[in-house]
Amino acid sequence: MMSLVTFTRNNALPLLRTSITVRIQLNSASLSSLVRLEEKQGYAVVAMHKPPVNSLSLEMIQALSESLSELEKNKCKGFILTSACPGIFSAGLDIREMYQPTEERLKEFWSSLQTLWLQLYGSKMASVALINGHAPAGGCLLAMCCDSRIMVNGKSKIGLNETKLGIVAPFWFKDTFVNTIGVRQSERALQLGSLFTPDEALKIGLVDRVLPDPEAATAVAESELKEFLQIPAMARYLSKMRIREAALKDLLENREKDLNTFVNFATTDAVQKGLGIYLQSLAKKN
Ligand SMILES: CC/C=C\CC/C=C/CC(=O)SCCNC(=O)CCNC(=O)[C@H](O)C(C)(C)COP(=O)(O)OP(=O)(O)OC[C@H]1O[C@@H](n2cnc3c(N)ncnc32)[C@H](O)[C@@H]1OP(=O)(O)O
């Protein structure tokens, strides 16, 4: 047993009730640095660290879930979700998990993703996504689960580009998108698999602020989170749930069906062929 997530205390007056260092015991020796948790005054920073692109493999998804559970256990009030990999927030789901998979792992992968989404989208904690790089597909989903999105300006793009891979965003990705940018923009962007520049994302409400550099974005993310944390927590959370509860309930009630739909779809010849070609195109680029 090795620790997956280290939770380091660097501040004297935390709201989080942790001792010096909390180590979450998980089941693989190779996972020790996938997510970095840093305690700040009154909140935490959750930084994804799976170079080169923070792809969401099964282990990465589980590491994020465990990190959130750890924060909840420690009565953390809020967190900033960001990346410790320069230029990348997250490249979304790890395509290799879906390409030529075993059924058992594919099921565990999807079920873990469902759990992470339920946890993050329904979180009582306030959250800000500090999007310091590319955020396609699953990366965009993680950001949309937060209460606010601050993006660093530059070449990075954000959006749900699934159709470009010949795959379809599941209904709960779509619901999150619709709740963030509205029906019309979602319908168009989902079909086209649009990836938006920071300024375009700002224009359609996919992100809330665009800052010129990571330092400025970090400062704004912190002040944004503090603004959320100043609101009475229960009132803030219940207000958030007014918007999100229907989508959350829909997945909770249809988890098994969604899992089967995903497994059946992902393992079709057409999808497998498409994913193979996409992986090759990513590799060729290099
Ligand atoms: C069948 C499923 C049905 C339904 C599910 C629907 C839901 C899907 C949600 C998803 O999240 S699907 C994933 C969508 N993600 C993408 O399309 C992103 C693909 N990646 C990129 O566009 C680029 O990598 C980047 C813009 C994120 C970063 O570009 P750059 O900095 O130039 O890095 P590289 O492209 O050179 O990539 C480095 C390295 O990483 C590998 N990689 C990139 N993305 C992924 C990924 N999503 N999964 C697995 N691996 C990925 C890439 O192949 C390179 O590998 P090397 O071995 O060549 O170093």
Q: What is the pLDDT along the chain (286 residues), one digit of tens a residue?
A: 333 344 443 332 233 333 223 333 333 333 358 999 999 999 999 999 999 999 999 999 999 999 999 999 999 999 999 999 999 999 999 999 999 999 999 999 999 999 999 999 999 999 999 999 999 999 999 999 999 999 999 999 999 999 999 999 999 999 999 999 999 999 999 999 999 999 999 999 999 999 999 999 999 999 999 999 999 999 999 999 999 999 999 999 999 999 999 999 999 999 999 999 999 999 988 7
Interval between CA 238 and ligand 1 midpoint (Å): 35
Please classify residue 77 by burial: count the beta carbons closer than 10 Å to its beta carbon, then call 0-12 exposed, 13-18 middle and 19+ buried: middle
Interface confidence (ipTM) of the complex: 0.98
Q: Enumerate residues 6+ apart whose C-beta is below 8 A from 47.
A: 35, 36, 37, 38, 82, 83, 84
Distance CA 80, CA 38 (A): 10
Q: Which atom of ligand 1 is nearest to the CA of 139?
A: 11
Say if ligand 1 is within 6 A of residue 60 CB: no
Number of other CB atoms surrounding residue 252 within 10 Å: 13
Q: What's the predicted TM-score (pTM) here? A: 0.92
Say if ligand 1 is within 6 A of residue 95 CB: yes
State yes or no: is 138 an active-site residue. yes
Interval between CA 56 and ligand 1 midpoint (Å): 10
Angle at which helices 269-285 and 255-266 pack, to 10 degrees?
70
Please give the structure tokens belonging to residue 222.
């912190």
Residue nearest to atom 23 of ligand 1 (CA): 91
Task: Identify the structural domains of the chain with CATH numbers, from first to last.
Answer: 2-285 (3.90.226.10)
Interval between CA 53 and ligand 1 midpoint (Å): 7
Please give the structure tokens belonging to residue 217.
């974005």
Extract the runs of DSSP E, i.e. beta strands, from the chain.
2-9, 21-26, 35-40, 43-48, 78-83, 87-88, 126-131, 133-136, 148-152, 158-159, 209-211
Say if ligand 1 is within 6 A of residue 116 CB: no
Q: CB–CB of 69/119 below 8 Å?
A: yes
